[in-house]
Structure 1
Amino acid sequence: MTLAPLLVFGQTGQVATELQRLVPDAVFLGRDRADLSDPAACAAAIAAHAPRAVINAAAWTAVDKAESEEAAATVVNGDAPAAMARACAELRIPFVHISTDYVFDGAGTAPFVPDHPTAPLGAYGRSKLKGEQGVRAAGGAHVILRTSWVFSSHGNNFLKTMLRLGRERASLTVVADQIGGPTPARAIAEACLTIADQLAADPGKSGTCHFSGAPDVSWADFAREIMAQAGLACTITDIPTSAFPTPARRPANSRMDCTGLSAFGLIRPDWRAAVGQTLSELGAI
């Protein structure tokens, strides 16, 4: 697969780090070279590099902090992707933008299809939804890739937190009434590259797609699998979301219908296998 010159927004995040492993010759713009709080600068960077494709792997991901700083989160997650998409549309190049299950309200138990009505529960979800709307409105070749529960061997994520706490404690309480698909960052990066490549050849594949790991699971059962594969004796006890209050409400149902992946020849990754690979990278098994 050849995508150079590829331009990626993001450098130290989980997906951006995996993209650097996969396509080290791509151009990666960290905050020092393209601050998403300055949407015009992001658009200017695209015009300056004139790449074959753009992937936006950068975002405001501090979900709870967004509740008190919604305006700032909205610039980063809403205005910046819209500016990127407009710049890509002007150059007639594909744009792949990573979004989130938080654009939904998490009601029910059925997996959310891409065109299900959006209804974010909090500031983070609203900021990401604005980004989606801006990307679509730009009118260029694009795919909005919604994902969930990202993990890898780098950055801050649930797997690394559980591994640390599992080594320190004999037991943990973990939320069991939120259900979703843990998704390896490596798989997201690979999917973004595949989609960008195919969009370049067929802009008609533009749209919104869901990509999450299988099978769907609770946070508590995700934690149990981590402990089991890491050989840790830490006991996991189920608790309801109400026992672990946070500033931002989390969706109870993060299941996503990923059947649209077939248009790109993609399937849902098995997160359990990826847990083993990640633990191996961390030297935990």
Structure 2
Amino acid sequence: MKKLAFLVLLIVTVLSGTLVGKAIASTGFDAYSMTTHKIENGNLTNKVTDLISFTSQNIENEKNNDSKLVSINNVSDNVIDSSLSTDEEILQELSRYKDLENTYLMQPGWTSITFDQYDLLPLNSPKPLPSQYRKEFWSHFDGNQKVTEQVDYLISSETGKVPLGVFVNGELTSLWNDGQKVKKDPYTPAYDLYLVSSIQTLVESNSPLELSFKQEILANQSVSLIELRTQFSTTDKQWINIQLDKPVWGQYEKFTFNSQTGLLLKYEHYYVLDDMSLVLSSVTDNFEYSVASEAPSDVTNLIATGGK
């Protein structure tokens, strides 16, 4: 299945060597952010029952801490009837969202995006990030909707606010991994996490998928909930080196968009086991977006020095 080709890329912003999903390294969100994790040479000792227990406990802990993290079943019942029933109709609506968000976020100047990240399955990497943290991205766009400069930060109780990477002059420098560098051309992000292009590829290739769309009112705003379930091929499964009691069948993803602005509000990723049970692997939530002509001095200083 070509789906995983979109999902599995080498980290370039933090350069940890871990393989992860959603082509984040190409979108301007680094590979530690929107996390459909594909772990390279990783060996998690947790068994299925442990993972499910761990997942449930993390969700419960977050609820107790008044976090906005919610489980898949904890959503509003105030559903708006939607006439979108075919994959093509859903794709058309999602393409509209993408156009809206691109028009807003990719104006010439600086765009800031922050979000909370919850990684419920640990990453196997030389220098792991905390399991819960906030990310902050500052991206400078030219007149062709391409990012030419970028700085990203990690914010957590363990680390405080620290810069992770700097992109300037066609080069990415990982400040998290001892200044490692990689060449990179200016690029156009996919702030929908490649949802539109992934569905297009699946539809065009007649690959099996389960896609649903519905609208709800959450926190007094109209939101669209998109659910996508896809099966991993035998080859794809070899990329996912996770030690579970039962083999992984595929993945289930849930996207929440603002229906008016097209902006992504939340992303959830689950592994689907062969018995069709779900194991939650990550949640990305509490997005904040802003555009500005200028960036803060800490960002411009990192750009000026190339992260030195």
TM-score, normalized by the shorter chain, greater than 0.5: no
TM category (shorter chain) comes to under 0.3
TM-score, normalised with respect to structure 1: 0.25
Greater helix proportion: 1
Structure of higher RCO (CA pairs closer than 8 Å, 6+ residues apart): 2
TM-score, normalised with respect to structure 2: 0.24
Greater strand proportion: 2
